[in-house]
Structure 1
Amino acid sequence: MSREHEWVDEEAGPVVRPYAVARGRTRSAASSEVDLLATVVSTGLPAPSKAELSTQHRRLLGLVSGQNRPVVEVASDLGLPVGVVRVLLGDLVEHSLVTIRPPRDKAATPSESLLREVINGLRAL
């Protein structure tokens, strides 16, 4: 039996509490708060020898390897609360293993009226 399966009960799910996954921390080591819609991507750098990465850190790295993923989606895929994922992301940012990009500014997104015009134009073709 692998170590990862020792912490899961078939009926109850994960046995380890979220605060234990985050080592009792409630705040991220990152300098600013990580937004739910911020995107995360792996830098592809190897983990430094001093980095103490848990199984959850490694799972998170696997989820964002080679692709941009929103923080909220990563939390959902890991089955962990967003607060815990923020703490784990802070650890990974500290070791330069991931990059977090803020969400796009609403001013940079097209308006609904513009999108409707594009749809109507496509339908006219």
Structure 2
Amino acid sequence: MTMVSAEDEHWVDEAAGRLVRPYTVSNGRTEPTTRMELLSMVRATGRLPHGRLEPDHAEALGLCSTPTTVAEISARLRLPAVVTKILLSDLVDAGAVDTRSPGPAAEPTNTAVLETILNALQRRL
């Protein structure tokens, strides 16, 4: 069950979820300014952007207090990945978060990684 503050109550419905459409959250933008993968790590820098943060930006920034993947932030915000990437890229542009590429080891076609996972799973079974 999601806790909803009185201020946000009119934007969330317990049964339907978020009432604000994703394109509204991203101000109609469809591309982030910073390239990120789902497994990219994002972490807060400790610097706050100038001015007031939009609620979704503030929530995303709060999730970045420890290094977190874009995929996890997207899931916690209950937003599509591309919208989450747009929010995060706004925070990168403002200097509030840093991103780090997942590197070649996270590549889904990396056979060495897949073999390691398979071997670990076989040992557990």
1:56 corresponds to: 56
Which residue of 10, 15, 18 corresponds with 1:14? 18
Q: Per the alignment, in what secondary structure is the counterpart of residue 3 of structure 1?
A: coil
1:69 corresponds to: 68
Q: Does 1:2 align with 2:3?
A: no
Q: Which runs of 5+ in 1 are unaligned?
A: 121-125
Structure 1: distance between partners of 2:36 and 2:13? 31
Structure 1 stretches of 4+ with a deviation exceeding 3 A read 109-113
Q: Please provide the CA RMSD for this pair.
A: 2.8
Letter in 1 for 2:49: A
Q: Does 1:40 align with 2:42?
A: yes
- Structure 1-normalised TM-score? 0.77
Letter in 2 for 1:14: R
Residue deviations 1:46-67, cap 9 Å, x none? 2223xx52101000111111x1
Query: What percentage of residue pairs aligned between the two structures are identical?
Result: 38
Q: Which runs of 5+ in 2 are unaligned?
A: none
- Structure 2-normalised TM-score? 0.77
**Greater gyration radius:** 1
